[in-house]
Structure 1
Amino acid sequence: MNQNWLVSLGAGLTSLAVKWNLPVKGLIRSTIFEQFVGGESLDQTIDTIKTLDRFNVQAILDYGAEGKETEADFDRTKEEFIRVVRFAATRPNVPLMGIKITGLARFALLEKLNPLVRLTDQTVDIDTSSLTPSEKQEWERVVSRTVEVCETGANLNIGIVIDAEESWIQDTIDALTMQVMTVFNQKDAVVFNTVQLYRHDRLSFLERSFALAQNRNAILGVKIVRGAYMEKERKRALERNETVLIQPDKAASDRDFDAAIDFCLDHLDRISLIVASHNEYSVQHTVQKLLDADLPLNHPHIHFSQLFGMSDHITFNLAKMGCNVSKYLPYGPIADVIPYLMRRAQENSSVAGQTSRELFLIRKEVARRKL
């Protein structure tokens, strides 16, 4: 993954090989899958969860289903999400689980609703009047599935983190998330939305979401990330001659990310924050802000998280300091997690990417041990 050309070639070939049922699953399983995924089934994650627990590291379980298309698939995914919640309730170091709305809803339906969303500091609404009768019923089932998962989480004290996805369906996801959040986050943070700060409009969206939650007397649950769809977003916008939502450069993303962290920490009594970052500076910045404000590093409204297979030096040092910190631990059949794996490979393939930094740290440690 440190070779950009190999990632570009491999991503396309891997997706095609799986689609055509070529015998490549063994190779995938023993390489990129083993690095970034907890297993092909929920039970296969147990050993990893236990290992993390020995080092005071928590886990956010994520069933890797996305991009499904049939009602039967959506119902099966909902049942699996609920099974994860019930499983997490039996594990003291699994306080949260992640879900994707594209595991519960047809992508085209989410895209059709996207321009029909109204989310302000006073109201959140999705205008379904232009849908056909069958589409309205389909949307009602999406809402019902989402509510059922979140309600199970609320009953069992397991947080539900709703992941961000592509911008052309994100407004629909945001509106649905805020609707269920204002129901279930009245006393504690159960539902969390994800805000991607590689988009230049997301800092203002975060502030608007907080105002809406305040007006509904709810705690805002939010996971702050830089994002994972940047190249796809930029390519689509340029092809369609649309406004590019991506920040002009990395410095702008970093600036808005840290501003978002500061905003949340300034309202920590009414915001429950997940800092999902592999950036050492951003993590240090957050910790220092807590120390300067004389807030405990294990404050119940602050949680750090890194992806499984990445940034162990950040995760385990935070755990040693006494912070609430987790690994985002996906699982699922190889064919289902291929989109997730390809995003991990692509976001790590640049010269300044995570893989380059981690290879440097590993080589440095190997050299130290040889002395």
Structure 2
Amino acid sequence: MERIFENTEIALELKSDEEISRSYFLFSLIKKEPLVKIGTAITKFALKTNMPVEKLIRTTVFDHFCGGINESDCLPIIKKMYAKKVYSVLDYSAEGKEEEVQFDYAVQKTLSTLEYAKDNEAIPFVVFKPTGFGRFEIYKKLSAGTSLSDREKIEWGEIRKRYIEVCDKAHSYNIPVLIDAEESWMQDAADTLVEEMMKRYNKDRVIVFNTLQAYRWDRLDYLKELLEKARHQKFKIGIKLVRGAYMEKERERALKYGYKDPICINKSATDKLFNDCLKYMMNNLGDIEFFLGTHNENSSYLLMELLKENGLDNNDKRVWYGQLYGMSDHISYNLSNTGYNVAKYLPFGPVKDVMPYLIRRAEENTSVVGQTSRELQIIKKEKERRKNLKNNTANFKNN
């Protein structure tokens, strides 16, 4: 298999020299875990006390990882990426909300992105988080098998209505919706609700996608059980496969409450489970469509090989690659350049509301071994390539 991810010219073609220098500076900071912890604490305090730091955040970490404060802000980036056949998934990334009015607003933002997607072929999916549509505590109680109060039952009914409203509109527009996964102790309730949406809307085509976090050792078993249900009840499955985003929190909670750690024993076990899930989905592509959310080069190459082995086109519409905006451009743009379906998650929202997402991004980059170093390596290589090109051009003119 050709090793395509070393081509930094294709990977970073859309970035100016100034943007590349800013990216290098940012990832150099993120690489230093103590700085991330200190910066996170200061940022939280500054925003909580309404200190005037939003402009600084906007011009550094926000602009690198986010498309803007609203959908219109994102349109120039969407257009720019689509010119290179990299699609966008608009992601309203406000996190940690607790009030009904905020959940209703998140629904309206998701419906708004559906309207944008309906008229823009560069936006093939929409996305939402389960806790964007309802309180974490409700999901947690249901996942634990704890009875809800009468008021909480009404709340759960409202959460379900929000899912239906978005999925119904997505179905009418024929635009798939990706539903994110969160912490394991709330996920069973979310899975149950997403499965209900799949049964309702995935009869003829895949509209609703659930998310599997492969750092959970039980996820391949869950996928196999889901496929059995789907075949029996005659619906199709949509899966977004990721490695996972809450590892430290998961391990700490399991230790605190004395239950079995839900996370794979180490990175190698997670990688194996991720690739096993990928192979399983490829083997059952008639019943499953999937979105491979990964920044891992080996897993990306594996999917390329599996498509080739199965005699499928690079751009088979049932299979997508996905990365986060601001990360792994060497994967995204080299894949799109070779004809694969690629989409970038493009977060947006008010700076203050999106900060929990950005903090999680920074913390993940420090905890994933090699991720930030690889980003720096790619940027450094491209800086060197451009420098040599300028020198060679200057020498040619002088001669």
Category of TM-score, reference length = shorter chain:
over 0.9
Residue from 212, 234, 239 that aligns with 1:195 = 212
**Residue 198 of structure 1 aligns to a residue in which SS?**
coil
Q: How far 1:364 moved relative to its partner?
A: 2.1
Question: Could you give the per-residue CA deviations for residues 259-304 of structure 1, whole angstroms, max 9, x where no partner exists?
Answer: 0000000011110110110000100000111001111111111000
Q: Is the 8 A contact 1:65 1:100 kept in 2?
A: no
Residue from 314, 318, 333 that aligns with 1:301 = 318
- CA distance in structure 2 between the aligned counterparts of 1:366 and 1:49, rounded to whole angstroms: 25
Q: Does 1:69 align with 2:98?
A: yes
Letter in 1 for 2:38: L
Q: Does 1:207 align with 2:224?
A: yes
Q: How far 1:83 moved relative to its partner?
A: 1.0
- CA distance in structure 2 between the aligned counterparts of 1:350 and 1:68, rounded to whole angstroms: 25
Q: Which runs of 5+ in 1 are unaligned?
A: 117-127
Q: Is the 8 A contact 1:2 1:350 kept in 2?
A: no
Question: Could you give the per-residue CA deviations for residues 90-123 of structure 1, whole angstroms, max 9, x where no partner exists?
Answer: 111101011011111011111111123xxxxxxx
Q: How far 1:65 moved relative to its partner?
A: 2.6
Letter in 1 for 2:168: E
Judged with a 3 Å threshold, the aligned counterparts in structure 2 of structure 1 residues 213 and 38 are, in CA distance, closer, same or farther, namely same
Q: How far 1:334 moved relative to its partner?
A: 1.1
**Residue 381 of structure 2 aligns to a residue in which SS?**
helix
Residue from 248, 263, 267 that aligns with 1:231 = 248
Q: Is the 8 A contact 1:68 1:104 kept in 2?
A: no
Q: Does 1:38 align with 2:67?
A: yes
Residue from 365, 369, 392 that aligns with 1:348 = 365
- CA distance in structure 1 between the aligned counterparts of 2:194 and 2:234, rounded to whole angstroms: 16
Q: Which of the pair is proportionally richer in helix?
A: 2
Q: Does 1:253 align with 2:270?
A: yes
Question: Could you give the per-residue CA deviations for residues 209-228 of structure 1, whole angstroms, max 9, x where no partner exists?
Answer: 22222222111000000011
- CA distance in structure 2 between the aligned counterparts of 1:284 and 1:351, rounded to whole angstroms: 19
- CA distance in structure 1 between the aligned counterparts of 2:328 and 2:175, rounded to whole angstroms: 25
Moved more, 232-241 or 264-273: 232-241
**Residue 211 of structure 2 aligns to a residue in which SS?**
strand
Larger of the two Rg values belongs to structure: 2
**Residue 112 of structure 1 aligns to a residue in which SS?**
helix
Moved more, 219-228 or 342-351: 342-351
**Residue 127 of structure 2 aligns to a residue in which SS?**
strand
Query: What pairs up with 1:1-371 in 2 under 5 angstroms?
Result: 1-116=30-145, 130-350=147-367, 352-371=369-388
- CA distance in structure 2 between the aligned counterparts of 1:24 and 1:242, rounded to whole angstroms: 41
Q: How far 1:20 moved relative to its partner?
A: 2.1
- CA distance in structure 2 between the aligned counterparts of 1:32 and 1:210, rounded to whole angstroms: 40
- CA distance in structure 1 between the aligned counterparts of 2:230 and 2:49, rounded to whole angstroms: 46
> 1:124 — aligned with what?
none
Q: How far 1:342 moved relative to its partner?
A: 1.1
Q: How far 1:36 moved relative to its partner?
A: 0.5
- CA distance in structure 2 between the aligned counterparts of 1:65 and 1:299, rounded to whole angstroms: 33
**Residue 289 of structure 2 aligns to a residue in which SS?**
strand
Give the fraction of aligned pairs with identical amino acids, expressed as a percent. Answer: 42
- CA distance in structure 1 between the aligned counterparts of 2:368 and 2:207, rounded to whole angstroms: 38
RMSD over aligned Cα atoms: 1.3
Identify the structure with bigger relative contact order (alpha carbons < 8 Å, sequence gap 6+): 2
Judged with a 3 Å threshold, the aligned counterparts in structure 2 of structure 1 residues 323 and 351 are, in CA distance, closer, same or farther, namely closer
| Count of aligned residue pairs for this structure pair | 359
Q: How far 1:237 moved relative to its partner?
A: 1.6
